[in-house]
Amino acid sequence: MAAAAATASRAWRLLRGSGAFHGRAAIQRLWDPPAQRRLFSNNKILVELDENTGVAVMKMKSPPVNSQTLEFLTEFSISLEKLENDRAYRGLILTSATPKIFSAGLDITEMCGKSEEHYAEFWRAVQEMWLKLYMSRLVTIAAINGSSPAGGCLMAVSCDYRIMAENPKYGIGLNETRLGIVAPFWFKDTMINTIGHRATEQALQMGLLYPAPQALSIGIVDQLVPEEKVQDVAAAAMTQWLAIPDHARLITKSAMRKPTVDRLLTHREADIQNFVSFISRDSIQKSLQVYLEMLKGKKG
């Protein structure tokens, strides 16, 4: 034991003499455990976990544009539920692993040329994604590092706070009417809760995509920052949100959002049937086919 003590003493003198430690804070760092970081991943979603801060970063990784397919939506909901069930985590930063795009929204191919059963399964997955994200117990911050139309916009406005890259080439909005389809009532309600009735009415009828500066002025996003700082600013904002006691914040969040959620829950099956009936119409299918051909032409 004496030999061990002498060895430890010599090691301490060597470290202290090397200049590696200065003062009490440095001594504390000697014994502090390293940051506990781990991750879990599936085909479309990567979640990075920081056990020291209790914050998870969820990165959408479905190139080229993070289209919300049935597989994507299912993996998103499973990943979020996994986080919800882990009480070590209090915050979630939602972002994209793909440069210049947050999410292009619902995948058109899931709504075109498929069976009614598929349409119903797909729409239930869209509902589930929104229900889990909109009422999450976690503090949710969207780090919008690219364009975010349609379902991508829905994801963003479902978060508690939104930080967007200040690039005027990036747009965000519910632009469904430009595809010949209609945003459902709970998309509308979420947008009204964010920017108000009149602005939502104009945005949805015209299918507007707001450039980043206009998105800030109308209130779809809360902050614009240089593109390279989106993640850092999101982490700093998360610190401010986590300073609020969870129970008080959650009760307030529920009071604000539960009526909107309850409306969908009450009419969930009818909403699915309405979607299936609408999307199955020949005129809508033709409109979607034209849009898909246009996209193929752009890629070519």
CA dihedral over 245, 251, 252, 257, signed as positive or negative: positive
Which of 83, 173, 175, 224 is an active site residue? 175
* Terminal Cα-to-Cα distance of the chain (whole angstroms): 75
Which of 106, 154, 208, 264 is an active site residue? 106
Cα 151 → chain centroid: 11
Residue 43 designated active-site: no
Contact status, residue 227 vs residue 145, Cβ threshold 8 Å: yes
Residue 85 designated active-site: no
Residue 288 designated active-site: no
Contact status, residue 206 vs residue 146, Cβ threshold 8 Å: no
Residue 106 designated active-site: yes
Nearest-angstrom CA–CA distance, 215 and 222: 9
Residue from 132, 111, 129, 109 nearest 120 by CA: 111
Alpha-helical (H) ranges within the chain are 2-17, 23-31, 70-84, 116-134, 151-157, 185-195, 197-206, 212-218, 230-242, 246-266, 268-279, 282-299
Which of 91, 105, 151, 171 is an active site residue? 151
8-state DSSP, 150: T
Active site residues: 106, 151, 175-176
